[in-house]
A and B are shown apart, each in its own frame.
Chain A
Amino acid sequence: GAVVSQHPSWVICKSGTSVKIECRSLDFQATTMFWYRQFPKQSLMLMATSNEGSKATYEQGVEKDKFLINHASLTLSTLTVTSAHPEDSSFYICSAEGTSGRGGELFFGEGSRLTVL
């Protein structure tokens, strides 16, 4: 199956700083990537849909100025949490649809755990 790589897998930062998370499709091109957030013992909640070369589409309640998404190439999407606060501490996971996969199948990264002190 297709591989999606996320980096960093784990980050701790001070309140007020910004953190960038990268999501790469390693062996396929992804015109669309999806960013999810998962709080402890809860399911994955879609934050935004990232389209290569255009602006991301954010879900209701997700602040686009706080969670900056850039999808500059067919293999890389980034999520930047700006001016992070403790309530932003969560598990962030990206996914992408691979051209080599079955219709509808999404491949997930390993996730990035953010802790804001």
Chain B
Amino acid sequence: QKEVEQDPGPLSVPEGAIVSLNCTYSNSAFQYFMWYRQYSRKGPELLMYTYSSGNKEDGRFTAQVDKSSKYISLFIRDSQPSDSATYLCAMRSPGNTPLVFGKGTRLSVIA
């Protein structure tokens, strides 16, 4: 079993839809959970950052972490064509450890 599992999609939704992206993980040592957005040929851009469990909201984006289920989610409300990108979940243990990424989910929001 890989450390982080993420459905690669592709996922195609109409403009205005609510998008739900998810990742599961196996390493209980992970404490920091992040979602990155990556446009084609660009570096990853941090969208949401969560420490330990709980919810976090930022504008149209909501991140949820359920450590008991080892499951994290990203919700995008009122999706826009500009949200079309690859979304990568990433997580990390404390200390000088690297981020472990999911495969990324390709999202297309159709106008």
Contacts and interface: CB of A to CB of B under 8 A. Distances in A.
A108 interface: yes
Contacts, number: 61
A34 interface: yes
Contact of A43 (B32, B46, B104): B104
Contacts of B101: 43-44
Give the residue among B42, B98, B101, B104 with the most A Cβ atoms within 10 A.
Answer: B98
Give the residue among A6, A51, A93 with the most B Cβ atoms within 10 A.
Answer: A93
List the 10 closest A-B pairs by CB distance, nearest first.
Answer: A104-B32, A111-B43, A110-B43, A43-B103, A108-B43, A34-B98, A43-B101, A44-B101, A32-B96, A46-B98
A95 B99 CA distance: 9
B32 A97 contact: no
Given A34-B98, A43-B101, A102 B43 contact: no
Interface string B68-111: 00000000000000000000100010101011111110100000
A51 B94 CA distance: 17
Interface string B14-50: 0000000000000000011010100001111110010
A42 B46 CA distance: 18
Given A44-B44, A46-B98, A108-B44, A102 B104 contact: no
A104 B34 CA distance: 9
Interface residues of B, number: 25
Contact of A103 (B44, B51, B100, B104): B51
A108 to B, nearest CB: 5
Nearest to A102: B49
Contacts of A46: 98-100
A77 interface: no
Contact of B43 (A93, A104, A105): A93
B88 A110 contact: no
B27 to A, nearest CB: 14
A93 B31 contact: no
A75 interface: no
Contacts of A49: 96, 98
